[in-house]
Amino acid sequence: MPKILVIDRCYYSRTGLAQLISESALSIDVVQTDDLLRAREYMKWKPDIVIADFYGFLHDLHHIDQLSSIFAASSTKTRFILLPSARSAQLENYCATQDIWFSADKSCSLEAVDEALQNALTRMHVKVDNRHIASLLTLREEQILQLWKKGDSNESIAECMQITVKTVYTYKRNIRMKLGANNRFTLFRRGTELAQI
């Protein structure tokens, strides 16, 4: 069941959009709020579509980048539909840096909003995630893990990596801790079980 979050300061706009959404589709969860702090909390709900008028919140924001917490909390499938009640160069410049599915003035026709909503519900949308994800293991730990998987002894690993045998033990312990294995048997048994599935 698709989930839609409506963020708007105006009560009539929020309830009107919620009514339009409920009329256009049979089973959609709609949550509406007039508070940015609540909106950030609702983003944990991972809505499929966020319909927002951020213009009404501009006077409450100390800096426009405070909106980034809402965009950052969205999932890769979340589509943003922006319907600002007025134009703001500051807001438009900021939103141009975000992944916006549809943007129009609030004065646009209901047919245009309904069409954008239907397109957002039916078309596949995958947002490119530009955030850097750090590797769980360091490069050296990955090299030691590869040698360990091959069945090399600690002495041969130490010789190959030009470290002491005691350091090999330390690396192996760190690898087990990072991968959540109690011992080497559970570490490698999990890998073979996963490979067979």
Question: 45 and 112, same structural domain?
Answer: yes
Element (H, E) at 79: strand 79-82
How far is residue 7's CA from residue 35's CA, in Å, rounded to a whole number?
7
Domain count, the chain: 2
Cα separation, 64 vs 135, in Å, equals 32
User: Three-state SS for 166?
Assistant: helix
Do 183 and 110 share a structural domain? no
Q: Which of 122, 147, 165 is the last residue of a domain?
A: 122
Q: 110 with 148, same domain?
A: no
- pLDDT at res. 191: 42
26 in a structural domain: yes
Task: Give this prediction's pTM.
Answer: 0.60
| Whole-number Cα distances in Å, 7 to 39, 49, 176 | 7, 11, 45
Q: Report pLDDT digits (tens) over 132-164.
A: 555 677 888 889 988 988 889 999 999 999 999
Q: Does 78 score more than 90 pLDDT?
A: no
pLDDT at 123 (0 to 100): 72
Confidence of residue 193 (pLDDT cuts 50, 70, 90): very low
Tokens in use for 71? Answer: 């965009």
**Residue 37: its pLDDT value, please?**
82
- Is residue 7 a part of any domain in this protein? yes
20 and 106 co-located in one domain: yes
SS3 123: coil
| Domain stop point among 74, 89, 122 | 122
What residues does 7 pair with on adjacent strands? 33, 52
Average pLDDT over residues 73-79: 83
Residue 53 pLDDT exceeds 50: yes
Where is pLDDT greater, at 193 or 67? 67
In a shared domain, residues 117 and 143: no
SS3 label, residue 50: strand
Which pLDDT does position 25 carry in this prediction? 65
Dist CA 191 CA 61 (whole Å): 49
Average pLDDT over residues 97-110: 85
- Residue 71's domain comprises 3-122
Last residue of a domain, one of 97, 122, 147: 122
- pLDDT range class, residue 165, cuts 50, 70, 90: very high
